[in-house]
Amino acid sequence: MLDQVTDLRALLKDPTLLPNKAYVAGQWIEAADGKTFAVTNPARGDVIAHVPDLTRADAARAIAAADKARHGWAQHTGKERAAVLRKWFDLCMENLDDLGTILTAEQGKPHAEAKGECAYGASYIEWFAEEAKRIYGETIPGHQRDKRITVIKQPIGVACSITPWNFPNAMIARKAAPALAAGCGFVARPAAETPLSAIALAVLAERAGVPAGVFSVITSSRSSDIGKEFCENPKVRKLTFTGSTEVGRILLRQAADQVLKCSMELGGNAPFIVFDDADLDKAVEGAMISKFRNNGQTCVCANRIYVQAGVYDAFAEKLAAAVNKLSIGDGLKAGTTTGPLINEDAVAKVEEHIADVLASGGKIVTGGKRHALGGTFFEPTVVTGVLPTAKVATEETFGPLAPLFKFDTEEEIIALANDTIFGLASYFYSRDIGRITRVQEQLEYGMVGVNTGLISTEVAPFGGVKQSGLGREGSHHGIEDYLEMKYICLSV
């Protein structure tokens, strides 16, 4: 338990996973001015570590080191880079228990779920270890008799990442893995709330043989300063960001001056649709995983739950019964299924959305208020009678609120589901193949779960359309964002 731990390392099998330093140019460093910032456990509010509060100058040093080290790294064969990434994957899996403890302590999700995230993150390292060997070019029949045309793919150069607190391991792994597989240099800046998972990943990358300078981790509370360095430093050729659409817009504006290539995994507002012909028990199972994974703090969470009129009451009753089985508590306590929210702002957002639903006649079926545990713990909540004009219909709750909207027809629900600036994930349950075919093609989203509430995997292209992002992560598509295509015309 973390009741009064002032140093998380006391809970680890391998305390060397947390040097509580930043990793820059192959060195474990403090901030030049000695400044640090505290990392707190959201379940208890106690400080579990202090890490260096690096500056823009430190980020510039990491970028310069990456720009120097990347050339030697790119001269490795794909197979040689694959071997290093495979070793990194193996070390992540060997240290899964400790990586999970670190993640739970800084982010709050239950230990089993945290280990699941770290295995999910490692799966991207494993996947791109394999993709490193398959960066193929092509030959094209010449347009003239004396011309020979080839196309080769080369690493884009220095890539920088900015990642959120909700998946502090997997979001970095999902970016660093393709970048390193492609032969890039990589500088990661994790969220200030959750820097420890990134530090542990760097420890294991160093042990796996990633050359000094190729991979750096900038721990800093100065997100804007570091972001500006990433966008303005001419040595940087790629920015990859996961976080809110609001911050994504800021970064895209900043990146424009350098015409910086950007990948953006941004906000979502996923519809979860249950048709009359659905298997209700499977739909409830899918709604639970989609809505309450990470306590509702994922970009692909069901944000709006639409239930066709004929099964609305039955679904609401079944969902509330499942929600009431959740076990709220400290993520390091055995049996916990749901941890705290990340901070007070997150609690306020959930309270705001619930109050808004109630003000327009909605009803609480279960939950609805802060949990008796106090702090940022919140009762998982189901509300009915939600109107299309509710805030939760257009804003991302990012918390444990399941708002049930009623609908009548297929045409009506397609229009409602698509009526958003977002387009990341969507889900629907039906057993009618004609309806499944029509609906999956009409939903304007980057990802569609049909009769499932969990779609994230390294083998498929993860990403959104509209204002949910640019580019895809994972799958054989994921490495393309870290490569440049070169056309060579040889006159013979």
Ligand X SMILES: NC(=O)C1=CN([C@@H]2O[C@H](COP(=O)(O)OP(=O)(O)OC[C@H]3O[C@@H](n4cnc5c(N)ncnc54)[C@H](OP(=O)(O)O)[C@@H]3O)[C@@H](O)[C@H]2O)C=CC1
Q: Which two tokens stand for residue 487?
A: 């056309």
Count of residues that bind ligand X according to CB under 6 A: 25
For ligand LO4QSZO4, give the closer residue by CB, 74 or 289.
Answer: 289
Task: Report which secondary-structure segment, H or E, holds 429.
Answer: strand 425-429
Site for ligand X in 206-225 (CB under 6 A): 223-224
In whole angstroms, the minimum distance from the beta carbon of 77 to ligand LO4QSZO4 comes to 30
Give dist(CA 488, CA 490) in Å, integer. Answer: 6
For ligand LO4QSZO4, give the closer residue by CB, 242 or 384.
Answer: 242
Q: State yes or no: residue 336 binds ligand LO4QSZO4 (CB under 6 A).
A: no
Report how far apart the first and last C-alpha atoms of the chain are (Å, whole number): 71
Angle between helices 170-182 and 196-208 (to 10 degrees): 30
Q: Which two tokens stand for residue 84?
A: 């290093």
The site map against ligand LO4QSZO4 for 421-460 (x = CB under 6 A) is -----------------------------------x----
Give dist(CA 329, CA 30) in Å, integer. Answer: 34
Q: Which stretch binds ligand LO4QSZO4 (CB under 6 A): 74-82, 162-170, 211-219, 319-327?
A: 162-170
Q: State yes or no: residue 299 binds ligand LO4QSZO4 (CB under 6 A).
A: yes
Give dist(CA 302, CA 351) in Å, integer. Answer: 17
The label of the residue with tokens 């292209």 reads 461
Site for ligand X in 466-485 (CB under 6 A): 469
Choice from 112, 250, 358, 455 touching ligand X (CB under 6 A): 250
Q: Which stretch binds ligand LO4QSZO4 (CB under 6 A): 93-101, 123-131, 166-174, 321-329?
A: 166-174
In whole angstroms, the minimum distance from the beta carbon of 460 to ligand X comes to 13
Closest by CA to 337, choosing from 43, 113, 104, 1, is 113
Backbone Cα Rg of the chain: 23
Site for ligand X in 419-458 (CB under 6 A): 424
Site for ligand LO4QSZO4 in 242-271 (CB under 6 A): 242
Q: Which two tokens stand for residue 89?
A: 């994957």
Give dist(CA 286, CA 288) in Å, integer. Answer: 5
Q: Which stretch binds ligand X (CB under 6 A): 37-45, 62-70, 122-130, 266-274?
A: 266-274
Give bridge partners of residue 39 from the DSSP assignment: 49
The label of the residue with tokens 């456990």 reads 41
The site map against ligand X for 173-212 (x = CB under 6 A) is ------------------xxx-------------------
Q: Which two tokens stand for residue 274?
A: 């249950």
Give dist(CA 70, CA 345) in Å, integer. Answer: 40
Contact predicate 88/118, CB 8 Å: no
Q: State yes or no: residue 166 binds ligand LO4QSZO4 (CB under 6 A).
A: yes
Q: Which two tokens stand for residue 255?
A: 């990146």
Choice from 240, 263, 298, 467 touching ligand LO4QSZO4 (CB under 6 A): 298
Closest by CA to 61, choosing from 23, 34, 33, is 23
Q: State yes or no: residue 31 binds ligand LO4QSZO4 (CB under 6 A).
A: no
Give dist(CA 393, CA 405) in Å, integer. Answer: 9
User: How many alpha carbons fall within 13 Å on the CB side of residue 344?
Assistant: 3
Choice from 99, 171, 231, 402 touching ligand LO4QSZO4 (CB under 6 A): 171
For ligand X, give the closer residue by CB, 223 or 451.
Answer: 223
* Residue 223 contact partner, candidates ligand LO4QSZO4, ligand X, none, CB within 5 to 8 A by sort of partner: ligand X
Q: State yes or no: residue 300 binds ligand LO4QSZO4 (CB under 6 A).
A: yes
| Backbone φ and ψ of 270, nearest 5° | -70, 130
Residue 86 DSSP one-character state:
H
- Annotated catalytic residue, options 117, 265, 379, 396: 265
Q: State yes or no: residue 398 binds ligand X (CB under 6 A).
A: yes
265 catalytic? Reply is yes
The residue ranges that bind ligand LO4QSZO4 (CB under 6 A) are 166-167, 170-171, 242, 298-300, 456, 462
Kindly list the catalytic residues: 265
